[in-house]
Structure formats: C-alpha cells, structure tokens
Amino acid sequence: MAARIREIGEEAGVPRLQAAPLARALYYHVDLEAEVPAELYTAVAEVMAWAYRLKQVAHQGGEMPPTPIICRFPRIWKAPGMAPVVMRRNHERLKSANRSARLGG
C-alpha cells in the first residue's frame, strides 16, 4: 500500500521527504494525537518548515526549498524502547479510523 501511495505521488509530482529515523522515532514512541516530545521539536520543526515553504511555492511560485536532512536528535529516540505498547495502541487507533472512514463516519 505504501509503495502504491509513493508511486501515485511521484506520478503527480508530489515532493517527498524521506526521514526514516524521525518517522520511526515518532511511530515507536509517540501516541497518536500526543504532543511531540521536546527532544524531537527541532527535527519536526524542520519538516514542518519545509512543508510550509512547499505550500508557499505552490501558491506563489518560486524556487523549491532544499529537502532538509533530518538526523539530529537524541539516540534514545532511535531505539524502539516501549515500541510494542505504543505501536499496538497506534495500530488499533489507525484500524478504527480506517474502518470509520470506509463506513462513511
């Protein structure tokens, strides 16, 4: 499924940021709808700033912003730690949200 989403995005010319360590840190350690931990603020802010610049370019034209290189955050966030608990909780919430979306609710 993820590969197909990437393929469709590429065909449509949608810019893509690859920040696997940050994505894993958020996925493994942060509950859905929870605040971003302070230790990850800078990395998340870099991604958000890039996205806002992309939006600005799309609406006003201009040069595409350089893709940020996200690699600076504490090592503790790179290890799964309590991953199974958070992953299970997030997985269940995503399944529930997908089920609701399919049912039109």
Specify whether the CB–CB gap between 46 and 31 falls below 8 A: no
Establish if 45 belongs to a structural domain. Answer: yes
Establish if 81 belongs to a structural domain. Answer: no
Question: How many domains does the structure of the chain reveal?
Answer: 1
| Residue 49 structural domain | 17-73
Report in angstroms the alpha-carbon separations of 60 from 46, 52, 66. Answer: 21, 12, 17
Establish if 24 belongs to a structural domain. Answer: yes
* Per-residue pLDDT at 49: 93
The 10s digit of each residue's pLDDT in 42-87 is 889 999 999 999 999 989 999 988 888 776 666 666 555 545 555 5
Distance between CA atoms of 29 and 83, rounded to whole angstroms? 6
